[in-house]
Amino acid sequence: MTYLFTSESVSEGHPDKLCDMISDAILDECLSIDPGARVAVETMVKGTDSGSYIFIGGEVTISSDEKVEYEGVARKTASAIGYGDHSVGMDATSDELCKVVVRITQQSPDISQGVDEGKGLHLDQGAGDQGLMFGYASDETESFQELEGSFMPLPAALAQRLTTKMSESMKDGSLSWARPDSKSQVTIDTVVIAIQHDDIAGEQFSGSENDEHAFIFSEVLEKVIRSVIPSSLMKEDTKIIINGTGRFVRGGPHADAGLTGRKIIVDTYGGMGRHGGGAFSGKDPSKVDRSAAYASRWAAKHVVASGMAEKCEIQLAYAIGVSEPVSVFVNTMGTGAVDDHTLSKRVEESFDFRPQAIIEALNLRSPIYSQTASGGHFGRDPGSGGEFSWEQIDEGKIKSLQG
């Protein structure tokens, strides 16, 4: 690393991520009922002194008489994250302390027509919207055994793992005092953590906030940071900042309103690599905001994994109702083994970027999205149930890209 670049992440208990989690849980429920469901669901949360609110809105079209229990899914998701007590920021288990408002209609028939009809061929079904998507991959993580195979920008990979570890440690009791809301920020030589916590000062340290902070600092350093950051990166002069304001007791929706799709850089590459602007969570794969972003990452990862570039960014652009992307742009930023024009041709020959072809190649009609909603959509290990299929390496495509 000859430069310093900063990336951040937020945990599943962050208000915005809570909304992403609810939206994707609803999407999974819809796909479980009907794999061809059309879903675009947005969530907002806000807590007050007297109670909390979950607002769910959007468009859902399902070819089934089975009813989706939107409210039940939202409450179950929030409580599983840790929001089962009003003092923490929300009590999703209580009808009295948490109100859920649902406003769902069907997808516009004009959009549906363009996606359904296409050009008469199954794989020529059109894109669900216009837009542009970026995929990115880098070899920065590949010199660290703990991160090998992720092909991600190093700060982003570490920031994601830190927040995931904090959520896991809260749930398994390793950090028994932790609450759901947390954030991380990594600049390689600086690690910043904000973690919501119980009133430990009043409970254990006779009101001493200094002793409380020292305790939390030690716990997070040993149980989170040292277990996630490779030891070779932990230098004597590495700066560690934990709860820089001193305390973080009030958090979650009580402290901040949350919205679906407000953490798109956290979801992708931590700012390293561009973003087309479209959010992922709550959207079924007919929306190219999601499926084409996964496909462009899949292709970019293959380019780097094949040794054809040290880093690679791929842009796809679509028009609504048209299956073929209107453009495919490959940029290796001067690190390619061949010129970008040649590599672009190989990418287009190796990958079919028509939306329905992407959906079939990556099996995107399965209820696999809840796991993507926190911890990042990229650089994750493919799951046995089809999760993160866009992270799998196809040796045939590797050879095709190598020419």
Contact 228, 236 (CB under 8 A): no
- Of the candidates 161, 213, 254, 283, the residue annotated as catalytic is 283
Residue type, 135: G
Which residue in 8, 16, 212, 267 is the catalytic one?
16
C-alpha Rg value of the chain to the nearest Å: 22
Catalytic residue among 86, 161, 165, 183: 183
Among the options 179, 213, 263, 380, which is catalytic? Answer: 263
Annotated catalytic residue: which of 248, 280, 351, 353?
248
Active site residue 165: no
Catalytic annotation on 17?
yes
Concerning whether 86 is annotated as a catalytic residue, the answer is no
One of 8, 12, 17, 300 is an active-site residue; which one?
17
CA distance 293 to 355: 11
Q: Of 5, 46, 59, 205, which is the active-site residue? A: 59
Instruction: Please pick, among 289, 310, 387, 391, the residue that the annotation labels catalytic.
Output: 289
Active site residue 237: no
Which of these is catalytic: 8, 12, 14, 388? Answer: 14
Instruction: Report yes or no: 385 and 366 within 8 Å, Cβ to Cβ.
Output: yes
Q: Which has the closest alpha carbon to 66: 37, 40, 99, 41?
A: 37
Q: Which residue among the candidates 287, 290, 297, 354 is catalytic per the annotation?
A: 287
Quickly count: other Cβ atoms within 10 Å of residue 255's Cβ: 14
Question: Does 99 participate in catalysis according to the annotation?
Answer: no
Write down the residue that tokens 């009003």 correspond to. 86
Rounded Cα gap, residues 112 and 63, in angstroms = 13
Q: Assess whether 262 carries a catalytic annotation.
A: yes
Choose the catalytic residue: 146, 198, 211, 256: 256
Q: Would residue 283 show up in a list of annotated catalytic residues for this protein? A: yes
Q: Which residues pair with 283 in a beta bridge?
A: 40
Of the candidates 165, 262, 302, 354, the residue annotated as catalytic is: 262
42 in catalytic set: yes
Q: Examine the residue annotation and report whether 122 is marked as an active-site residue of this protein.
A: no
Structure tokens at 95: 């009808």
Which residue in 168, 247, 255, 257 is the catalytic one?
257
Q: Let me know the angle formed at the C-alpha of 36 by 34 and 37, rounded to the nearest 5 degrees.
A: 70
**Does 287 qualify as catalytic in the annotation?**
yes
Residue at 20: amino acid letter = D
- Residue 72: exposure state from Cβ atoms within 10 A (0-12, 13-18, ≥19): exposed
59 is catalytic: yes
213 catalytic residue (yes or no): no
* List of residues 6+ apart from 281 with CB closer than 8 A: 19, 20, 21, 23, 24, 27, 260, 261, 267, 369, 372, 373
Active-site entry in 20, 24, 29, 42: 42
Catalytically active residues, by annotation: 14, 16-17, 42, 59, 183, 248, 256-257, 262-263, 283, 287, 289
